[in-house]
Amino acid sequence: MKKWNLIVDVANCSNCNNCAMAVKDEYEGNVFPGYSLPQPRHGHHWVNILSRERGSGSLMDAAYLPTTCNQCDDAPCVAAATNGALYKRPDGIVMIDPARSKGQKQLVDACPYGHIWWNEELSVPQKYSFDAHLLDKGWKEPRISQVCASGCLSVVKCEDEEMLAKAKAEQLEGLRPELGTKPRVWYKNLYRFTKEHIASSVATVIGGLEEACVEAEVKLVRQGSVVAEQATNCFGDFKFDGLEPDSGEYAVRIKWRTIEKEFPLVLQKSVNLGVLRFES
């Protein structure tokens, strides 16, 4: 049986919030019998864009992480529901039955991702249903991917084996795999949000003016071994990314022309070492 999957490329999210607005437009004030009751105007974020800044100065970067119900295959919310209020469809979508779930506020805490929201006025738990009511009418994709112009969101409907092979080939990963929930939302370039970097600029002084050291050789050394290397760019900058937070001692070894220097550091979170100067 082919099942739905959502692929999120963190490197392509511009935080435009079109996806979140499409959900608001679709569900606020609208009843879809058998699928969902209206979303309240305020307080619910069925698609929630998180943001994170890393580093500092000119080498600082920002990443945005679209989050929503992961349509988990081993969903704790389904296990916590009574009366069949939450259930998994054969196409992979996890649904909340609006009638059976009435009064079941405990389901809000059953989602470890914080993606079940309580509708106080209607006394029901609610979440994003992947626009199941539209897909059942023949839509080729949910509105969130349809409105995402940057290419951050895309959907794939395929057999599980095919999706697992794709995830392996494209290095896709789910959020918080330690929970064992088997999410159907897959992230690409998640390191932009979860990992750290070491960055710096290399410069020299020529004729009294500071100049970038272009194509200086830069090596990242850990426990005596080179773990990554690159050359400075046209601004004299380098950035080693995808490093574990709080991963301890490193050294940055830089060779420019005949001069070689080493800069030790202890990595906690992303760091800009500032301008490292070499004599010309």
Tokens of 118: 């309580």
Partners of 48 in the β-ladder: 67
Q: Which of these segments, 38-46, 149-157, 160-168, 193-201, binds ligand SF4 (CB under 6 A)?
A: 149-157
Shortest distance (Å) from residue 252 CB to ligand SF4: 33
Q: Applying CB under 6 A, does 148 fall inside the site for ligand SF4?
A: yes
State the pairing for strand pair 196-206/209-212. antiparallel
Q: Which of 87, 172, 83, 82 is nearest to 132 (CA)?
A: 87
Q: Applying CB under 6 A, does 134 fall inside the site for ligand SF4?
A: no
Choosing from 7, 37, 49, 95, the residue that interacts with ligand SF4 (CB under 6 A) is 49
| DSSP 8-state class, residue 151 | S
Q: Which of 72, 71, 54, 55 is nearest to 63 (CA)?
A: 54
Q: How large is the C-alpha radius of gyration of the chain?
A: 24
Q: Which of residues 161-220 bind ligand SF4 (CB under 6 A)?
A: 181
**Distance between CA 109 and CA 89 in Å, rounded?**
22
Torsion sign (Cα): 83, 133, 44, 178: positive
Q: Applying CB under 6 A, does 71 fall inside the site for ligand SF4?
A: yes
**Distance between CA 212 and CA 234 in Å, rounded?**
7
φ/ψ of 273, rounded to 5, equals -75, 0
Nearer to ligand SF4 by Cβ, of 18 and 200: the residue is 18
Q: Which of these segments, 62-70, 130-138, 247-255, 256-264, binds ligand SF4 (CB under 6 A)?
A: 62-70
**Distance between CA 72 and CA 56 in Å, rounded?**
36
Choosing from 23, 77, 202, 254, the residue that interacts with ligand SF4 (CB under 6 A) is 77
Q: Applying CB under 6 A, does 66 fall inside the site for ligand SF4?
A: yes
Nearer to ligand SF4 by Cβ, of 67 and 201: the residue is 67
Choosing from 23, 37, 72, 95, the residue that interacts with ligand SF4 (CB under 6 A) is 72
Q: Check: CB of residue 115 under 8 Å from CB of residue 127.
A: yes
Shortest distance (Å) from residue 241 CB to ligand SF4: 20
Q: Which of residues 5-24 bind ligand SF4 (CB under 6 A)?
A: 13-19
Choosing from 7, 23, 95, 116, the residue that interacts with ligand SF4 (CB under 6 A) is 116
Q: Applying CB under 6 A, does 69 fall inside the site for ligand SF4?
A: yes
Q: Which of 48, 63, 16, 15 is nearest to 195 (CA)?
A: 63
Q: Check: CB of residue 121 under 8 Å from CB of residue 44.
A: no
Shortest distance (Å) from residue 99 CB to ligand SF4: 18
Which residues of the chain form contacts with ligand SF4 (CB under 6 A)? 13-19, 49, 64, 66, 69-72, 75-77, 94, 111, 113, 115-116, 127, 147-148, 150, 152-153, 181
